[in-house]
Amino acid sequence: MIAKHLACGLMALAVVSARAHAADGVPEMSPADFERLLAAIKPQQGESPWREIPWLTNVTEARRQASALDKPLVIFTAADGSPLSRT
């Protein structure tokens, strides 16, 4: 008897869940709206100047270039490993 009530309850829950999920569909977006939103969220020129620096990932090459150009060497790292996920 309990199993029958449990099975009916689970079936009802599945039907209600499926209907609720179908009602939460993502609305369609026009190509013009997509382009407008893409332009709004994309990084703009000059917005992130650190991205325009020609960073090197090879420390030996970076030391060679810094020495040749008489420039300082900046090494960026993180406490839990490499910021480039190369640990």
Q: Chain centroid to CA 12: how far?
A: 37
The residue ranges of every structural domain in the chain are 44-87
pLDDT digits (tens, 9 = 90+) for 13-61: 666 666 655 556 778 889 999 999 999 998 888 888 877 888 898 999 9
**Do the Cβ atoms of 63 and 73 come closer than 8 Å?**
yes
pTM: predicted TM-score of the whole model, two decimal places: 0.40
Confidence (pLDDT) at 49: 83
pLDDT of 84 reads 61
pLDDT of residue 83: 61
Element (H, E) at 64: helix 59-69
Instruction: Answer whether residue 1 shows pLDDT above 70.
Output: no
